[in-house]
């Protein structure tokens, strides 16, 4: 399973770009191993709902995400009321076991942090930061390609059939 923390700034910025809506957000609504990290106290979901209130595409995404089986991974973390929006997402991401990946619209949203090779350190935890284009590449389904080399032979693959062949021996 792959678990990602999607920031509110990512939702705010991609809400008008159908390419990113389809190739980032809607990937999480499909049957695959990708999950969105949220906190048990629903602070993240409430921030998502704020964006959804003014954008039908984000609202539709949230609706699809709410269906079973859940595409959310609930992270047990206590987030104080006074935490900033950015800190809420950093806290959730840093508490996600072995899956410290955060999706932002742009690295500029984290300009207060030193990001080295797409990684920032937050309270002793390394967080991999993916901007919108990095996220599209990482979330792309992997296609299994099989290469077969045949010499002086006939081969049938993927349910195909072979008819009317002649075997000639020299």
The fold of 2-139 is Rossmann fold (3.40.50)
> For the packed helices 43-52 and 56-65, what is the interaxial angle rounded to 10 degrees?
140
pLDDT at 152 > cutoff 80: no
Which tens digits make up the pLDDT trace of 17-72? 889 999 999 999 999 999 999 999 999 999 999 999 999 999 999 999 998 888 99
Query: Given this model, what pLDDT does residue 72 score?
Result: 96
Cα angle value 28/29/32 (rounded, 5°): 65
Distance of CA 40 to the CA centre of its chain: 19
């Amino acid at each position: 399973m792959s678990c990602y923390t999607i920031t509110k700034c990512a939702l705010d910025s991609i809400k008008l770009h159908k390419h990113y809506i389809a190739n980032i957000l809607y990937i999480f609504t499909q049957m695959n191993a990708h999950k969105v990290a949220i906190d048990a106290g629903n602070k993240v979901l409430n921030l998502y709902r704020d964006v959804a209130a003014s954008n039908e595409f984000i609202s539709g995404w949230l609706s699809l995400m709410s269906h079973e089986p859940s595409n959310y991974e609930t992270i047990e973390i206590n987030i104080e009321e006074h935490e900033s929006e950015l800190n809420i997402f950093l806290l959730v991401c840093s508490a996600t076991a072995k899956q410290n990946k955060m999706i932002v619209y742009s690295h500029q949203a984290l300009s207060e942090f030193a990001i080295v090779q797409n990684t920032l350190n937050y309270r002793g935890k390394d967080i991999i930061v993916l901007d919108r284009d990095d996220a599209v590449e990482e979330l792309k389904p992997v296609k299994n390609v099989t290469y077969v080399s045949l010499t002086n032979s006939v081969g049938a693959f993927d349910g195909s059939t072979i008819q009317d062949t002649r075997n000639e021996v020299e």
